[in-house]
Structure 1
Amino acid sequence: MNNNTKIPVEVNPDEDTEWNDILRDHGIIPEKPPSPSAQLEEALEEAVRKQHENRLENKDIDELDALEDKEDEEFLNFYKQKRMNEIKKLSEKKKYGSVLPISKNEYEDEVTKAPKGTTVLVHLSLQSSLQSRLLGSLLTEVARKFPELKVCDIPAQRCIENYPESNCPTLIVYKDGNVLKQYVTLTQMGGNATTLKDIERILVDLHAVGDSDKRLIINDEDEDSQQARSLRFAKKSVRGKGDNDDDDDDDDFYD
């Protein structure tokens, strides 16, 4: 009998045995993959750690002040300074605050050549359009609430000759001379029921406003006011232009 005969031995590389450890050390079998439960545990621990480290990330100055007796002073001061720097940076950007009516000749200077880093919202408007008047009202609130954004209004057909009335209102969002997004009518926002919250969601999606910006929080009174206004617009659109009390409704809207 030949003593050099090699007998194949089956090895399960997933088994946790001393023999497998020797084989792994010599590179004969691959390293045992970590167990899914161990990976999950590690991921959960990492998530908890990050959550704890970032627990002050979205708190404002007043909320940080209220934690003086509960948090480490140096850690707290770091976030206070961070908030103050953010406030300072934001205040430096507050150049606008109201809707700017522009003409076709002013479009390039006011929109495509706006200061670098400035987000510009352009409303191609049509006064006879119900949705355009709604959007105009909402953009007035946006301009006041986010004065670092530049909000412009130009009658659509003065901007683009023979621009279809059915495309009004059109909202174009620019940054650094480039079009980020274009919305033709309010269909993608909420139609006649569009609210300030819908516009804010667009601003967040386009990174024009940070998703943790405290100004995005709308209190219940504002919500009720928006819903009432949206309902009034919806009713008016159902009645149509032929109704005799259109003028009265218009006056109510601009009160």
Structure 2
Amino acid sequence: MQDPNADTEWNDILRAKGILAPKEKEVSEEDVIDILESTIQEKSRGKQLEDLTLDELNENEDEIDEEDERIFEAYRMQRLSEMQAASLRAKFGEVREITREDYVREVNKAGDGVWIVLHVYKQGIPLCTLINQHMTRLAQKFPESKFLKSISSVCIPNYPDKNLPTIFIYFEGELKKQFVGPHEFGGMNLTFSEFEWMISQTGAVKTDMEESPKRQIKDVMNIAIRESAINRDDSDDDDY
């Protein structure tokens, strides 16, 4: 006798005519996850599973049915892994002062996957001071990258002042990009957003900006110039 639960064209016809009862829907792993999330939401004041902290996951573990335990444990381990990965990435977060003796350890032996932004500067140069301020903010915003600074006379003997400020970008100890001299930075008008964009173009940080702030400023200026020209034309027309 043919299996009434089999997926055949004949059985589909019989189900459509009401001769066979509708086939029971198989419960997939996605369905189990949805049920699990719904259960946890009820017990966690409406929070989604992915929004729970590790402590909250642990608190709810005893309230999960046995058949859901495997999926729940997978979520818990995933969350723990994400937290550990984030902790490893966010191991910097400040600008460290180094000397020539520190260079090999801090730059050449920085480790796999580490981006380094090194500012060579001199005290008393306003643009160097400005960039150090931008470096501090950038280091806090992107703690997964290493930000370093070093006084030129300490780091590179006889390094000419005309080359300051200088930014060296390294990845895994290899020099990838350098910005040498004040002309590279546009002088004291350099904003934090412009500095962030500049560094992001080397790959050292992953900004959420979609285009250069300088372009945005230029667009605003162009609009203002066009509007000014239109206003002048209207004023000239009024004279006749």
With structure 2 as the length reference, what TM-score do the two structures score? 0.51
Output the CA distance in 1 between the equivalents of 2:194 and 2:186.
7
Q: Is the 8 A contact 1:168 1:185 kept in 2?
A: yes
Amino acid at match of 2:95: V
Unaligned segments of structure 1, at least 5 residues: 1-61, 66-83, 218-255
SS state of the match for residue 206, structure 1?
A: coil
Distance 1:90 1:146 in 2: 12
Amino acid at match of 1:97: G
> Alpha carbons of 1:196 and 1:175: their partners in 2 closer, same or farther (altered >3 Å)?
same
2:74 is equivalent to residue 102 of structure 1? no
2:175 matched residue in structure 1 = 179
Determine which structure has the larger helix proportion and give its number: 2
Q: 1:141 aligns with which of 137, 141, 149?
A: 137
Distance in 2 of aligned mates of 1:156 and 1:170: 9
Query: Any conservation in 1 of the 2:121–2:152 contact (CA below 8 Å)?
Result: yes
Change (3 A) 1:115 1:171: same
TM-aligned CA deviation for residue 211 of structure 1: 4.6
Superposition misfits of 4+ residues, deviation over 6 angstroms: 84-88
Report whether the alignment pairs 1:202 with 2:198: yes
The residue identity in structure 1 corresponding to 2:181 is T
SS of structure 1 residue aligned to 2:143: coil
The CA distance in 1 between the partners of 2:185 and 2:174, in whole Å, is 21
CA distance in 2 between partners of 1:107 and 1:100 (Å): 12
Residue by residue over 1:203-244, the C-alpha shift from the partner in whole angstroms, topping out at 9 and shown as x without a partner, is 3212223354xxx59xxxxxxxxxxxxxxxxxxxxxxxxxxx
Please give the alpha-carbon distance, in whole angstroms, between the structure 1 residues aligned to 2:193 and 2:84.
25
| Displacement after TM superposition at 1:191 (Å) | 1.9
**SS of 1:201 mapped into structure 2:** helix
Query: Could you tell me which residue of structure 1 aligns to residue 151 of structure 2?
Result: 155
Q: Distance in 2 between matches of 1:211 and 1:125?
A: 24
Q: Partners in 2 of 1:144 and 1:165 — Cα distance?
A: 28
Counterparts in 2 of 1:155 and 1:202: CA distance versus 1, 3 Å? same
- What are the superposed Cα offsets for residues 114-134 of structure 1, whole Å, 9 maximum, x if unpaired? 021111111111011111001
Q: CA offsets per residue over residues 72-104 of structure 1, 9 Å max, x none?
A: xxxxxxxxxxxx787764443001111101111
Q: Is residue 196 of structure 2 the alignment partner of residue 193 of structure 1?
A: no
Question: 1:99-138 alignment to 2 at 5 Å?
Answer: 99-138=95-134
Contact preservation (8 Å) 1:190, 1:198: no
What CA distance in whole angstroms lies between the structure 1 residues aligned with 2:177 and 2:106? 18
Structure 2 CA distance for aligned equivalents of residues 121 and 92 of structure 1 = 18
Distance 1:207 1:87, change over 3 A: farther
SS of match in other structure, 2:148 = strand
AA aligned opposite 2:167: L
Judging changes above 3 Å, is the alpha-carbon distance between structure 1 residues 110 and 166 closer, same or farther for their aligned structure 2 residues? same
Which residue pairs with 1:226 in the alignment? none
Partner residue, 2:4: none
Q: TM-score, normalised by structure 1?
A: 0.48
Structure 2 gap segments, 5+ residues each: 1-47, 52-78, 211-240
* 1:99–1:140 Cα contact (<8 Å) kept: yes
Q: Distance in 2 between matches of 1:200 and 1:127?
A: 22
Superposed CA offset, 1:17-44 (max 9, x none)? xxxxxxxxxxxxxxxxxxxxxxxxxxxx
